[in-house]
Structure 1
């Protein structure tokens, strides 16, 4: 990868199409209640691999261990998405694969923050950062077939839908089909010249 990992994980700034300012930053202990609430939401449990028995201890483990661990292991970055008041509105992970030029993303939006364009803006910012700063060529998004909200987020962030990967994701001991989309370096170049 790059020497970027020798520095603290960066803080990114972006805004929605409606002008709402957002910060993508490393998780903090104060984010644990927001993480817990989001991970107990029925829609989150339906569409993600968040453990069913999520509790305060797991939320604290997420913000103090799991999230910073990606950066510490030089395998990507986990960001908390915070609104203009620095309140938790979601989280997004960029995870570098065995191929160091490819990463995948995972995200969830707090129920109260859905429908405001926050995650589309965050996803685009994180994907562009990964391509420009980590040297990625491809950032992949996957979601279980039927997760229309996640698909809208990816498409609004500029990801190109590529199709269905049969048995593409593990979910609670089973394999499920997944939608796949990607943003590649050439997409950023094409956008700059359009």
Structure 2
């Protein structure tokens, strides 16, 4: 898929690239990001380089993983001349099967608690449903990651349960929350009819 840029009222979401390496490296020194996400720990500069130069662009190229660097919109020069500001977060849409993808994200420590992550997640979800052929978007997080769960719920995900031993972190299997988001949850049409169970 050709890389593209999304924008919201306060944010610019554009495909991650080499220009994001330094801020990604700095952000991923945060113990909370290392604790609750799949980034390597310790997080070295070469991890940031590989992520921004190889993994991110490669996912767009092979149509498997769409990672956006989420940046503040700097409108100090006027709305029509919005430029990128500081790195706020990373958000990715990863294909998991026919019509199914998973939403993953992390936010920089200094920009948490302002609603940016929910705003970016909604933009990425809408794009996935409207332009990437996604019919079901999943979210997963280790049980206990209350901040990630709060973002998922604010984005519109229905928490569907707990998966036992579904994640590996630090060499240990851990339980995972899982949530699902459908186009109709955001008021969007779906390409295939959905027949829910009667149970």
CA contact (8 A) 1:93 1:105 kept: yes
Instruction: Please state whether the residue corresponding to 2:16 is helix, strand or coil.
Output: coil
Q: Which residue of 1 is the match for residue 87 of structure 2? A: 88
Q: How does 1:145-160 map to 2 (within 5 A)?
A: 145-160=143-158
Q: Of the candidates 26, 32, 40, which is equivalent to residue 43 of structure 1?
A: 32
CA contact (8 A) 1:140 1:181 kept: yes
Runs of 4+ in 1 over 2 A off after TM superposition: 188-191
Q: How does 1:94-133 map to 2 (within 5 A)?
A: 94-97=93-96, 99-133=97-131
- Per-residue CA deviations over 1:33-56 (Å, capped at 9, x if unaligned) read 211111110111111121112122
Q: Which residue of 1 is the match for residue 161 of structure 2? A: 163
Partner Cα separation in structure 2 for residue 62 and residue 76 of structure 1: 12
1:10 aligns with 2:4: yes
- Per-residue CA deviations over 1:119-143 (Å, capped at 9, x if unaligned) read 1011111111111111111110000
Q: How far is 1:171 from its partner?
A: 1.2
Higher helix proportion, which one? 1
Q: How far is 1:189 from its partner?
A: 3.1
Q: How far is 1:170 from its partner?
A: 1.6
Q: Which residue of 2 is the match for residue 186 of structure 1? A: 184
Partner Cα separation in structure 2 for residue 165 and residue 14 of structure 1: 33
State the structure with bigger RCO (CA 8 A, min sep 6), 1 or 2.
1
Q: Which residue of 2 is the match for residue 18 of structure 1? A: none
- Per-residue CA deviations over 1:58-103 (Å, capped at 9, x if unaligned) read 1111111111111111113000000124221110110011x22000
Q: Which residue of 1 is the match for residue 65 of structure 2? A: 76
Q: What TM-score, normalized to structure 2?
A: 0.85
CA contact (8 A) 2:99 2:134 kept: yes
CA contact (8 A) 2:65 2:92 kept: yes
Query: Any unmatched runs of 5+ in structure 1?
Result: 16-20
Instruction: Please state whether the residue corresponding to 2:93 is helix, strand or coil.
Output: strand
RMSD value over aligned CA atoms? 1.5
Query: Any unmatched runs of 5+ in structure 2?
Result: 75-83, 190-199
Question: Greater Rg, structure 1 or structure 2?
Answer: 2
- Per-residue CA deviations over 1:134-153 (Å, capped at 9, x if unaligned) read 11111100001010100111
